[in-house]
Amino acid sequence: MALQAKMIFVNVAVKDLQRSIDFFTHLGFGFDAQMTDEKATCMIVGENIYVMLLTEPFFETFTKKPLADPAASTEVIIAISADNRESVDELVQKALDAGGSASNDKMDNEYMYGWSFQDPDGHLWEVIYMDEGNAE
pLDDT at 136: 53
Map out the domains of the chain as residue ranges.
Answer: 1-63, 74-136
Coil/strand/helix, residue 80? strand
Q: Do the beta carbons of residue 24 and residue 124 sit within 8 Å? A: no
- For the stretch 30-54, pLDDT in tens is 999 999 999 999 999 999 999 999 9
| Confidence at 134, pLDDT banded by 50, 70, 90 | low
| Intrachain domains 1-63 and 74-136 with the same fold | yes
Q: Do the beta carbons of residue 103 and residue 56 sit within 8 Å? A: no
pLDDT at 1: 61
Strand order from edge to edge, sheet including 30-32: 8-14, 49-55, 40-46, 30-32
Q: Do the beta carbons of residue 127 and residue 134 sit within 8 Å? A: no
- For the stretch 74-119, pLDDT in tens is 889 999 999 999 999 999 999 999 999 999 999 999 889 999 999 9
**Which superfamily is assigned to 1-63 in CATH?**
2,3-Dihydroxybiphenyl 1,2-Dioxygenase, domain 1 (3.10.180.10)
| Confidence at 19, pLDDT banded by 50, 70, 90 | very high
- For the stretch 1-12, pLDDT in tens is 666 778 999 999
CATH architecture of the domain with range 74-136: Roll (3.10)
Sign of CA dihedral 51, 123, 77, 22: positive
pTM: 0.88
Average pLDDT over all residues of the chain = 93
Coil/strand/helix, residue 19? helix
